[in-house]
Structure 1
Amino acid sequence: MRKRLFILGLLLIGIFLFIWINNKWIVVSEYTINSSDMPAAFDGVRIVHLSDLQRTSFGKKQLPVLEKVAAAEPDAIFITGDLVDADRFKLEPVLTLLNGLSEISDVYFVTGNQEISKDRAEEVLSALKRTEITILENEKAKWNREGETVYIAGIHDPLMDISTYDPLIDVNFRNQEIEYSKRARDYTRESLEEVPFTDDFTFLLTHRPEMIEEYAETPADLVFAGHAHGGQIRIPGIGGLFAPGQGFFPELTEGVHEFGDIRLVITRGLGNSSFPLRINNRPEVTVVTLEHEEVTGLNK
């Protein structure tokens, strides 16, 4: 009997450690992106990309996140939405994180669906605007370095314009989902049209990676997105199981993807929302190092 209890205890400890590691042990993923269009002054620049904190807390004052970010020595921090959770709404952990990040580097933020759900957009944005971060609301900001300039553009999540959407009000759930997807794309296009893009090298911050076809029609060079949660449950050899906006076995859940002349950086994010656990999908701080690529006479 004691042997069985001992084995059961070890099993329970093992399960607890597995869940804790998958949901609290932050991993840093590093990527290098080179471009001949990027000004030479930005060669070697490091960007930390965060997303989807939601209901998750990482210890006292979010220190594990802040320590990982500080160790990356970023020149800028991009946050692509869903810092809060619409169902378990707490602003204090978010403000603690943002204040800490602002002491490390300049922070640029765009909304996700969670900031806008349950008609809380005004409350959330009002609180965030009291911090030192830059909120991009269908607009762009200059980033100057050694006399050269790039731009950081950002758009609101399309839910800002579809805040009345509720799949439960329509018996025909599938038709409602199709209509929502269509409207989301329409509003995304409209938001992008509001951004005064230029021919200069431009980063685009957005929440939803699945709208890549819309982003690819803009002059943006490098897109940053979250939302997919890494597919929530990652199956070895297959990838993510499910992502919002993409459904089962999604293609766009992490890493760097190329679409013609545009590249998309997706972070797996930090937290959870509807489904409370990550499996084989540790919370992620994404670090991107930029490299200026010289154009030779042969390939000009």
Structure 2
Amino acid sequence: MPTRPPRSPQRRVTARRAGAAVAGAGTAAVFYGSVIERNAFVLRRRDVPVLSPGSAPLRVLHLSDLHITAGQRRKQQWIRSLAALEPDLVVNTGDTLSAVNAMPAVLYALEPLAEFPAVFVPGNNDYYAPRPKNPLRYFQAPGDLPTGLTRLPWGEMAASLVDAGWTDLTHVRTVLAAGADGAAKVALAGTDDPHLRKARYELIAGAAEPGAAVRIGVTHSPEPTVLGAFAGDGYDLVLAGHTHGGQVRLPGIGAVVTNCGIDRARARWLHRWDEHMYFHVSAGLGTNPFSPIRFCCRPEATLLTLTPREG
């Protein structure tokens, strides 16, 4: 049987150089994602045509997946600085905590934003502390429930936010005054976390407030069943997070995972659900402390300017 001739010395050198180049590129990518990009906070801006014709625009600051720990002073200061935007409404779609001792840091970071109408719902990592994971498998498979995790003091955290002026939207429907002189009535409804199977949409079901300037649904994980329920009740816009936009996105591929029922193509940013309702998925501001890397997916907050519908 003929045998393959041995590689020439030059081919062996070329192969070693190629391997070294690949390893070097991988190391550089990890360094960039864990040191540079995960701290490169950015404010996104999007227009959403969901108001009645002739309505004055409303500015909604959407925060999500802050994953705050006590030592993240840079992130805390950046969040505080968002108060300078003077939004008409602030919406936090969950995963705010990341450690048992993070409550003072959360309250400090969010304190200036309570000057405006502000609402929140919890996410899965508000109930349970994160644990070490491979960055490419940051999220649990859809439907998996956590076991053996450290519980976080979410009940105490939620009560402290309410005391600071925030509105807890967990299975609550309400109408808040927003805009200039509080002239715009914003109808809001929120759920508990769908990822942990805590969402009970039936507790808020029913036609959205018809007399409101806009009707907004709030949830942590953008599960299609929840989005469809909001759409069926006539909501104009749903805000969610959870996906981190994929957290690690690959050129030409996009999000590697979403860890929920939404497709990878809609793992972040603004999309239409149907002819009437939009939904916005924030890529969020944080990461699992044990997987502190983002790649091609900068940490973000979004200022949504609600504008009149065409026609």
User: Shorter chain as normaliser: what TM range?
Assistant: 0.7 to 0.9
C-alpha separation between the residues in 2 aligned to 1:66 and 1:224?
21
| 2:282 paired with 1:267 | yes
C-alpha separation between the residues in 1 aligned to 2:68 and 2:77?
16
Question: How many Å apart are 1:16 and its aligned residue?
Answer: 4.0
C-alpha separation between the residues in 2 aligned to 1:39 and 1:113?
39
Question: Partner of 1:20: helix, strand, or coil?
Answer: helix
Equivalent residue, structure 2, for 1:133: 166
Normalised to the residue count of structure 1, the TM-score between the two structures is 0.74
| 2:106 paired with 1:90 | no
Q: How many residues are paired up?
A: 258
C-alpha separation between the residues in 2 aligned to 1:268 and 1:222?
17
> Per the alignment, do residues 278 and 294 of structure 1 end up closer, same or farther by CA in structure 2, a change over 3 Å counting?
closer
Equivalent residue, structure 1, for 2:248: 233
C-alpha separation between the residues in 2 aligned to 1:122 and 1:206?
17
C-alpha separation between the residues in 2 aligned to 1:61 and 1:233?
20
Summarize deviations over 1:212-258 as a string: whole Å, max 9, x none: 223222221111101111111011222111122249x7233211111
C-alpha separation between the residues in 1 aligned to 2:271 and 2:75?
33
C-alpha separation between the residues in 2 aligned to 1:12 and 1:219?
49
Is the contact between residue 35 and residue 293 of structure 2 (CA under 8 Å) also seen in structure 1?
Answer: no
Question: How many Å apart are 1:110 and its aligned residue?
Answer: 1.2
Equivalent residue, structure 1, for 2:188: 152
**Over aligned residues, Cα RMSD in angstroms?**
3.2
Equivalent positions of 1:1-300 (< 5 A) are 16-37=31-52, 40=55, 43-55=56-68, 58-59=72-73, 62-67=76-81, 69-85=82-98, 89-103=101-115, 105-117=116-128, 118=151, 120-139=153-172, 140-145=174-179, 147-158=183-194, 187-193=199-205, 197-199=208-210, 200=212, 201-210=214-223, 211-246=226-261, 250-260=264-274, 261-273=276-288, 275-293=291-309, 295=311
> Per the alignment, do residues 119 and 24 of structure 1 end up closer, same or farther by CA in structure 2, a change over 3 Å counting?
closer
Can you give the 5+ residue segments of structure 2 that lack an aligned partner in the other structure? 1-25, 129-150
> Per the alignment, do residues 158 and 12 of structure 1 end up closer, same or farther by CA in structure 2, a change over 3 Å counting?
closer
C-alpha separation between the residues in 2 aligned to 1:32 and 1:59?
30
> Per the alignment, do residues 148 and 101 of structure 1 end up closer, same or farther by CA in structure 2, a change over 3 Å counting?
closer
Normalised to the residue count of structure 2, the TM-score between the two structures is 0.72
Question: Partner of 2:186: helix, strand, or coil?
Answer: strand
Summarize deviations over 1:38-77 as a string: whole Å, max 9, x none: 771xx2221110001114564358112222x234331221
C-alpha separation between the residues in 2 aligned to 1:225 and 1:291?
20
Question: Partner of 1:48: helix, strand, or coil?
Answer: strand
Question: How many Å apart are 1:19 and its aligned residue?
Answer: 2.7
Summarize deviations over 1:246-292 as a string: whole Å, max 9, x none: 49x72332111111111101110011126332111111011111112
Question: Partner of 2:271: helix, strand, or coil?
Answer: strand
Aligned AA (1:52): D
Is the contact between residue 194 and residue 221 of structure 2 (CA under 8 Å) also seen in structure 1?
Answer: no
C-alpha separation between the residues in 2 aligned to 1:53 and 1:263?
23
C-alpha separation between the residues in 2 aligned to 1:144 and 1:232?
33
> Per the alignment, do residues 17 and 125 of structure 1 end up closer, same or farther by CA in structure 2, a change over 3 Å counting?
same
Can you give the 5+ residue segments of structure 1 that lack an aligned partner in the other structure? 1-10, 163-182, 296-300
Question: Partner of 1:242: helix, strand, or coil?
Answer: coil
C-alpha separation between the residues in 1 aligned to 2:248 and 2:220?
20
C-alpha separation between the residues in 2 aligned to 1:136 and 1:113?
15
Question: How many Å apart are 1:197 and its aligned residue?
Answer: 3.0
> Per the alignment, do residues 191 and 208 of structure 1 end up closer, same or farther by CA in structure 2, a change over 3 Å counting?
farther
